[in-house]
Amino acid sequence: MGLIDMLFPADTVSKVREDMLEYGKNNPSMSEAQIIEKFSGSMSRAKKAEAKEALKNMPLPKSKPTKKQRKKAADDAKAKTLMDSLEKRASDEIKAERTKLGLQNNKKKTAMMRGGMANGKEHMYAAGGSVNDGLKALAKTRPDVVAKILK
């Protein structure tokens, strides 16, 4: 920041525009070109000040990682692969030990069992169960409702 900028801080661009409009209203005999010429220095100074402020607030680009950071990243990657292989070996050893002891290693899903036929379609049930034809059962208790359904 220069000495002039410190002594006479630049107005904002919107402030300079307001001043230009006010000056144009107060001096109707001046042309637009004359008003722009009069305020051009202030406007460019205000734009430069806003650009400098924007640059101050702009995040800096990320630089390349240092040699130390690259070495740390490589060491971390090696450590992760080593831990993964150790976990896999430990898991295999645990499975072998469980097998030796006669314990179940894997959790198997319960297979679907055939439940029977209903309305000409085969039904499957996890627990085996049976299929009742709903209309036949309903016909025994409420024949009037079944009659309305089948109409």
**Tens-digit pLDDT profile for residues 78-108:** 999 999 889 988 888 888 888 877 776 555 5
- Specify the range with the lowest mean pLDDT, choosing from 5-14, 43-52, 118-127: 118-127
Statement: residue 58 has pLDDT above 70? yes
Cα–Cα distance, 57 to 136 (Å, whole number):
78
Q: Using the structure block, give the residue that is written with the tokens 């390349």.
A: 64
Specify the pLDDT at position 1.
55
- The model's pLDDT over 111-122, given as tens digits with 9 standing for 90+, comes to 556 666 667 777
Mean pLDDT across the chain: 77
Statement: residue 62 has pLDDT above 60? yes
* Statement: the pTM of the whole predicted model exceeds 0.75: no
- Report whether 43 contacts 62 (CB < 8 A): no
Specify the pLDDT at position 75.
92
Q: Strand pairing partners for 124? A: 114
**What is the identity of the amino acid at 82?**
L
Cα–Cα distance, 86 to 129 (Å, whole number):
45
Cα–Cα distance, 28 to 35 (Å, whole number):
10
